[in-house]
Amino acid sequence: MIRLILLGPPGAGKGTQAARLATELGIPHISTGVILRDAARAGTELGRKAKEIMDCGHLVGDDVMLGIIRERLAEDDCGRGFILDGFPRTIPQAEALDGLLDEAETPPLAVANLELDEDELRQRIAGRRGEDQRSDDSEETMLNRFHVYQKQTEPLLDYYRDRVSAIDGRGTVDTVFERLTSLLASTEERA
Ligand code: AMP
């Protein structure tokens, strides 16, 4: 069973790779960003509040995010594994996730960090501006998102140091996908 946490800065390709892996493996792709954007589009109270925060490039509060992830992981389709994209994003979220998974005796098997240098990240986000119409891909919000990533999310690499694998995020979608699938194959062999 594959349980993967996909880490990496904004623009590294987490969403693209997570979606593809999920299709290939037949397990859910859980993107907290997508959940929040869907809520924003639906105009729920959570969605309206989250949109304001997302549009500034800040993080939605840990309590809210934990409520969302707890509910999502309790759904039946997660019983066969899952790919987490965009969660956890802070140390408290990672600690809470450990607690959730421990309760069900399902520690995450793999943590992959998609690595890409800052110039490439900027280029990819600039490219995405035309395609995805994400209101948080503007220049100003993007700078905030990088800053927030460095301050709040990068410390997760140390938190997960005993199980994180660095994945080179350069190259085509196919190349990066190959790197991820070989990592998962070797993780499964070890399990
Ligand atoms: P993403 O699609 O993963 O880049 O997420 C887009 C935005 O949603 C982020 O910039 C945050 O404002 C919010 N968000 C997504 N996941 C989380 C999370 N785990 N914790 C806090 N905020 C989040």
Mean pLDDT, residues 100-114: 78
Active site residue 49: no
Distance 58 CA to ligand 1 centre (A): 8
- pLDDT-based confidence at 155, cuts 50/70/90? very high
> Going from the N-terminus, what domains does the chain have, and what CATH number goes with each?
2-183 (3.40.50.300)
Closest CA to 31 of 5, 67, 2: 5
Nearest 5°: phi and psi at 12? -75, -15
- pLDDT score of 122: 84
Active site residue 134: yes
Distances (CA, A) of 115 to 21, 44, 73, 182, 191: 17, 34, 26, 16, 25
pLDDT digits (tens, 9 = 90+) for 46-75: 999 999 999 999 999 999 999 999 999 999
Nearest CA to ligand 1 atom 6: 33
Whether pLDDT at 106 is above 80? no
Rank 39-48, 96-105, 179-188 by mean pLDDT and report only the highest.
39-48
Cβ atoms of 59 and 144 within 8 Å: the answer is: no
Q: Is 87 in the pocket of ligand 1 (CB under 6 A)?
A: yes
- pLDDT score of 108: 63
Cβ atoms of 87 and 164 within 8 Å: the answer is: no
Mean pLDDT, residues 169-175: 96
Query: Which of ligand 1's atoms lies nearest the C-alpha of 58?
Result: 12
14, 20, 37, 51: the active-site residue: 14
More confident residue, 190 or 89: 89
Cβ atoms of 95 and 41 within 8 Å: the answer is: no
